[in-house]
């Protein structure tokens, strides 16, 4: 499955090897001063999912990748126990708990996701990255930055504003449930915060 935007993703493919962009280890830029009051509007889609499945999310620009991992886990109904990584234009960043040999082998010295924000690794509209999750069957989520906007007063982020395709958690006990953006926003409430103007 391809999201409406995934054909233009600038992130590298998980099928590539250590000779190409997955081995890149560029220095990550400083977090922009505006990130504390901005929102990344993301289209996140299951790669090659059948039926097609994507979600439109509004996420704080200053959110770290470990927190974005939690958002994606909730978004796709996963449990968070399997290892994961983010492949960005600056290289690959890992959740370091339970890093399997498969990931460690390509990581060199693994780069920790917890100190890196969305604004640093995907700082402008049109930039993409890939989220990889799982032990044996590695799921791929394509992440595309639609736009970056100033947070609306009184709104809690992250939130879901739309999407396509029913909820289909992965694994042996997958089920289909009709997707409702309001329900996903409610599910994200524990991760949400209101961004104050001028913060």
Q: What pLDDT does residue 40 have?
A: 98
For 4, residues 6+ apart whose C-beta sits below 8 A from its C-beta are: 43, 54
Q: What pLDDT does residue 188 have?
A: 94
How long is the chain? 199
93, 169, 172, 175 from 65: Cα distances, Å: 8, 21, 27, 28
Q: Which domains are delineated in the chain?
A: 6-191 (3.10.290.30)
Task: Summarize pLDDT for 146-198 with one digit per residue, the tens.
Answer: 999 999 999 999 999 999 877 655 544 444 567 889 999 999 999 999 987 76
Query: Which residue would you say has higher pLDDT here, 12 or 37?
Result: 37
* pLDDT exceeds 90 at position 68: yes
**Euclidean distance between CA atoms 196 and 199, whole angstroms:** 6
Q: Are 93 and 103 in contact, with CB atoms under 8 Å apart?
A: no
- Top mean pLDDT of 15-29, 86-100, 133-147, 152-166 is at 152-166
* pLDDT exceeds 60 at position 49: yes
Q: What pLDDT does residue 108 have?
A: 62
If you average pLDDT over residues 90-100, what whole number do you get?
76
Q: Sorting pLDDT into bands at 50, 70 and 90, what band is 99?
A: low
Q: Are 87 and 22 in contact, with CB atoms under 8 Å apart?
A: yes
Task: Summarize pLDDT for 1-24 with one digit per residue, the tens.
Answer: 333 333 333 343 444 443 355 667
Q: What is the pTM of this model?
A: 0.81
If you average pLDDT over residues 52-59, what whole number do you get?
92
């Amino acid at each position: 499955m391809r999201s409406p935007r995934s054909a233009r993703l600038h992130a590298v493919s998980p099928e590539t090897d250590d000779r190409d962009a997955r081995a890149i280890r560029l220095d990550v830029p400083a977090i922009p001063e505006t990130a504390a009051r901005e929102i990344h509007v993301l289209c996140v889609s299951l790669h090659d999912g059948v039926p097609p499945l994507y979600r439109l999310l509004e996420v704080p620009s200053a959110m770290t990748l470990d927190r974005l991992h939690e958002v994606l886990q909730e978004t796709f109904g996963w449990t968070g126990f399997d290892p994961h990584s983010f492949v960005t234009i600056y290289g690959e960043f890992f959740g370091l708990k339970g890093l399997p040999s498969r990931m460690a082998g390509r990581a060199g010295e693994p780069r920790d996701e917890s100190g890196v924000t969305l604004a640093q690794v995907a700082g402008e509209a049109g930039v993409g990255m890939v989220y990889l999750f799982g032990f044996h069957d590695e799921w791929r989520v394509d992440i595309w930055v639609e736009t970056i906007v100033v947070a609306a007063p009184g709104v809690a982020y992250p939130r879901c504003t739309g999407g396509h395709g029913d909820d289909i958690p992965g694994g042996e006990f997958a089920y289909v449930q009709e997707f409702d953006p309001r329900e996903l926003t409610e599910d994200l409430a524990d991760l949400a915060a209101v961004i104050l103007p001028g913060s």
